[in-house]
Structure 1
Amino acid sequence: MKHRKLGNNGPSVSAIGYGAMVLVHGMYGEVEDTLSVKTIQHVIDSGITMIDTADAYANGHNEELVGQAIKDRRDKVFLATKFGIVFDANETSTPVTTNWNVLPINGKPEYVRKAIDGSLNRLGVDYLDLWYAHFPDPSTPIEDTVSTMAEVVQAGKVKYLGLSNVTAEQLRRAHAVHPITAVQYEYSLWSRNAETDLLPTARELGVGFVPWAPLGSGFLTGTVKSVSEGDFRNFNPRYQGENLKANQDRFAPIKAMAEELNVTPAQLALAWLLHKDEHIVPIPGSRNPVHIDSNAMATEISLTPEQLKLLDTLAPRDLAAGKTLL
């Protein structure tokens, strides 16, 4: 497994990370806990070091699964989790509307201090390598959230700070309070909005970039024909109605290009991201060990400038039918 730095001054991590959200019950269908733990252990044994979770995934249960899986492998893991989406009905929150749901968000200092201890307990660790604010809280200045997160760093509970789903302006304001090591945002061949402001700003500030949904929630694997009842992708505008079929047609040339290069569509999509910036670390998720290994091999794919230009042409920013998740 190749490694790269997460930002100009950040830590070295595997060039491909792992998004554990895929192991949440009901996200992509049902999954059994024992299998989930074995899946995460396979991820680690394959050489992938960065494991990404969040306290809101399955109301904390995803963190518990990750904790079980890394219990005897902590030294091999760069552990990242997120806070801010409120999953306790007794907590106050501010609603944030996305293109697929409404999320209850809390970034107030008192909640920040409470959230870190909850995550550490569920994960069974005494520190985190990377801690993200999952969404900015509209009712709380980002400076207040980040300054409190910085207190947690000073207390030795967290090594590096990150932000998720923020604007370029919010990243600048936060970075002025405390160095931000990584920013996480939706980014892939079918969701390129990050290229407008956020990715250039991260590059300017020396902040690492972690694309979530780097395979379009599975679409860019080239294998999704439909989604079953109960699958969260039914709420994704790009999977709804006629959009899914339209996207299958529009992205068919990329699938054909992968076949010509003798790589999988997923590998091609990940390799494209890795070539976009040396500090980009995608976090694809999969329940299948074969797919996990295949995704990891994307780090071995070299694309020529001509091939990269062709991909940019085949998948322009507004190619996909339907809104992005954010």
Structure 2
Amino acid sequence: MQTTKLGNTDVTISAIGLGGMPMSLSSRPPESQAIEVIHRALDLGVTLIDTADSYCKDESDKHHNERLITKALQQYKGDTSQVTVATKGGLMRPNGDWTRNGNPKHLRQTIQVSFEVLGGNKPIDVWQYHSPDPDYTIEEALIPAKEAVEVGKIRFVGVSNFSVEQIKQARDVVEIVSVQNQYNPWHRQPEFDGVLEYCEQEGLMFLPWSPLGGSRRVSRLEDIPAIAHLAKEKDVSVYAIVLAWLRAKSPCIVPIPGASKVASIEDSVRSLNVTLSASEIQQVDQAST
């Protein structure tokens, strides 16, 4: 497994992660299948697992994905000491919808629950503020995370769906190691809004969420001639081409594709063997415009 560093830290992580979200939404697979996916990822050398308190069906199901990952790690027969679990807090799931909640009282509470659900015997590896809530300042929302770092409930802090200015505000409150924003061939805003460049300059890890473009686009990747041609030429899947494209964009990028089937995480790991030339990267760029 190829590896990289978690931002400016001395922690080593796999060059590709496992996104846990598909294993906990309303279309979730049976628990036994989800655990099999996590175990297969670990077998393949994946040491970064991305989750969130809101990866669940609704509020009554909160923290489902964190519980699932904890159970899978506990049942795994191999060594899990090098696994980094990155979770998030700050989104709510009323009736299955997605809403923001940056209330410091709520964030303090959900950090505590995540800490307990993820084992409660060591700090949360990475806790990320899921999305800035305009009703609260960045400082107000991140004070609970800073407090949790100080008392040993969180090791590292990250942010998600943040602009460069918001990242700077966050770093005035607490040390930040990662940024998780949407990034894929159809949503390339991080290339143009300065976030990707800022992460490179400051040594922050960039985790692209929805790396394959979401469920609607994933099902249509085969229909994009340039991507389909590259996949055929390199004897890999169209998904592997997109993940390779992402990794080629910046050394600070670690894709976290979701998976609910063993074949999916196996395919994602195979993407690490795909190298794209500058002209091939450009072909993907142009195919998605």
TM-score under structure 1 length normalisation: 0.79
Residue in 2 that maps onto 1:288: 261
CA contact (8 A) 2:7 2:205 kept: yes
The answer on whether the counterparts of 2:2 and 2:15 sit within 8 Å (CA) in structure 1 is yes
Report if the CA contact (8 A) 1:146-1:174 is conserved: yes
Counterpart-to-counterpart distance in 2, 1:312 and 1:220? 15
| 8 Å contact kept, 1:54–1:60 | yes
Aligned match of 2:59: none
Aligned match of 2:89:
83
Instruction: Give, in whole Å, the separation in 2 of the partners of 1:248 and 1:265.
Output: 6
2:279 equivalent among 306, 315, 321: 306
Could you tell me which residue of structure 2 aligns to residue 17 of structure 1?
Answer: 17
Matched ranges for 1:150-299 at <5 A: 150-197=146-193, 198-218=195-215, 221=218, 224=219, 251-299=224-272
Q: Which amino acid in 1 is paired with 2:184?
A: S
Partner of 1:232: none
Local SS of the residue matching 1:177? coil
> Does residue 40 of structure 1 match 2:17?
no
When residues 248 and 300 of structure 1 are mapped into structure 2, their CA distance, relative to the original with a 3 A threshold, is closer
Contact in 1 for aligned 2:118/2:124 (Cα 8 Å): no
Whole-Å separation in 1 of the counterparts to 2:112 and 2:94: 15
Higher relative contact order (CA 8 A, sep 6+): 1
1:70 is matched with which residue?
73
The answer to whether the 8 A contact 2:20-2:65 is kept is yes
In 1, the alpha carbon distance for the partners of 2:240 and 2:217 equals 9
CA RMSD of aligned residues (A): 2.2
Residue number in structure 1 paired with 2:129: 133
Report what 2:99 is aligned to: 104
SS at match of 1:159: strand
- Structure 1 residue 30, shift from structure 2 partner: 4.3
Counterparts of 1:216 and 1:292, CA distance in 2: 16
2:6 aligned residue: 6
2:55 matched residue in structure 1: 57
Residues 186 and 212, structure 1, Cα contact 8 Å, conserved in 2? yes
CA–CA distance in structure 2, aligned partners of residues 255 and 119 of structure 1: 41
Secondary structure, counterpart of 2:207 in structure 1 = strand
Code of the aligned partner of 1:51: I
Q: What does the per-residue CA deviation read over 1:68-113, in whole Å, with 9 as the maximum and x for residues that have no partner? A: 0011554131011111113479xxxxxxxxxxx9633222322222
1:15–1:281 contact (8 Å) kept in structure 2: yes
Aligned mates of 2:166, 2:229 — CA distance in 1: 39
**Gaps in structure 2 of 5+ consecutive residues:** 57-61
The whole-number CA distance in structure 1 between the counterparts of 2:271 and 2:211 is 12
How far off its partner does 1:309 sit?
2.6
Give 1:268's aligned amino acid. Answer: I
Percent identity over paired residues: 33
Alpha-carbon offset, residue 220 of structure 1: 5.8
